[in-house]
Amino acid sequence: MHDTLLLFGATGDLSQRYLFPSLVHLWRDRLLPPAFRIVAVGRQELSDDDFRAWLRERMASEVADDPTVVEELLGKIAYVSVDLRDEAAISTALASYADRPSVSYLATPPDLFVPCAKGLKAAGLLEGESRLVLEKPIGRDLASAREINAALKACLDESRIFRIDHYLGKAAVQNLLALRLGNTLLEAVWEHRWIESVDIFVGETAGVDGREGYYANYGALRDMVQNHMLQLLALIAMEPPSVLDADSIRDEKRKVLRALRPMSNDDVASRTVRGRYAAGVVEGRAVKGFVHESTVETFVAVETYIDNWRWAGVPFRLVTGKRLAERATEVVVSFRPTSHWLFERPRRGRERPNRLRMRLQPDETIELGLMGSLAAPEWGAMELKPMSLDLSMSGSPQRRIAYERLIVDVLRGNQTLFVRDDEVEAAWHWIDSIETAWTQTGQPALEYPAGSWGPSEAERYLPPTNGYRPGNSNGGGHA
């Protein structure tokens, strides 16, 4: 387990909100090596003590829980100020830390990946068993992703590159594999003959405040669908690997991404919706709309197909948006109706399909929706009503946040929950087909009020569970 972490972008939002708190928790639980050290790298001119004071102030909640642990970790931090675009300056500033294998974590925009990697290479910090971690996104299209991947491979081997997608570190996401591959009941029906549709929904109440410049160059399709949502889709749809090791799982995910049907101009008109939030009310608070000279979208809905035997003809609907009525991430698998309906009530066609609903956030729940007579009056044995089986673990221990699991994995060198270069490029190939078609057809981003479920035109893409209806922040729902 490596004991040196070089964290680039140490003064950024990601580091403040997730990475440093995760390190505090790991240190508290004695999951980091005793000699662990952190080299915080940023652009601001700060001394070690200045940076520690700055970070202490921003980690007030962690200090309140256990100030001794926080102070112990702060004492292990050294701060280095350097221009992250200057390869020579990076090499000079960090060369003294090349005395042992290390992990360099680039929590920076993608345009800094290459200069940072080259500076680390020149400093001797990517030699031997040293590793490199990259935050998403890897580029903004297939061409830039290939350029970044090629530059990185000139600095170190793919086996030591860790492209992080924090969704893969969530316990509920890992449970997708356990449910699929560890249960005969689901293994037997996990294909097109029994599944009617799959919905993946990622809703955020937050806007893009403070990130307008970044977001204007990416939008919801590139920022969320290309990585988080396509990784979820690949885990749901992949063939069972021969063993649960990193390359076997990533081989199967890549096959799914390559089988995604590319989008034509006609396809994007009938199977995608772009949106952009206007002023509205979110969680009882008035918020402004997204105003920027770009035409980028903050909401996207896509219906796609996987052209292989297992999923032939099954629509996969992906929906994500900013400033929606609720913060939620869930997967809904809807099964086909029974082949022969015997019951008086409800009439054929009015029954609710069996659905497996897996919610990943804000809470982690698993529900299986069935039809049963136990929910109906005693004298109505021929009458069925929906009933829900709660498959969640009650009284389960507190889950670690995703970054904690992933930081430990990268320190240990386990790539299972990280994304490989060919996965990234396969995802961008499909995303580029949509972006190109949008550009050629001039498909507009439709306005929707903040606090709603997105443009009304996207209603048919929303998960078929109660609570989702565009324009209704109170969750009118549809079955």
Active site residues: 228
Distance CA 390, CA 197 (A): 21
Give the residue carrying structure tokens 């991947």: 149
Token look-up 């928790």 returns 25
Say how far residue 237 (Cα) sits from the centre of its chain: 16
Measured in whole angstroms, the distance separating CA 479 from the mean position of its chain's CA atoms is 27
| Start-to-end CA span in the chain (Å) | 50
Give the DSSP letter of residue 479: -
* Single-letter code of the amino acid located at 314: V
Helix (H) or strand (E) holding 207: none
Q: In terms of C-beta density within 10 A (0-12 exposed, 13-18 middle, 19 or more buried), how is residue 347 classed? A: exposed
Cis before 449? omega within 30: no
Q: Kindly give the residue spans of alpha helices, DSSP state H, lying in 217-362.
A: 219-220, 230-237, 246-259, 265-271
Q: Kindly list the distances between the CA atom of residue 79 and the CA atoms of 3, 53, 94, 120, 428, in Å, as whole numbers in the listed order.
A: 17, 12, 11, 16, 35
CA distance 200 to 468: 13
Between helix 230-237 and helix 246-259 the angle, nearest 10°, is 100
Peptide bond into 346 cis (omega under 30): yes
DSSP string, 260-275: BPPP-HHHHHHHEEEE
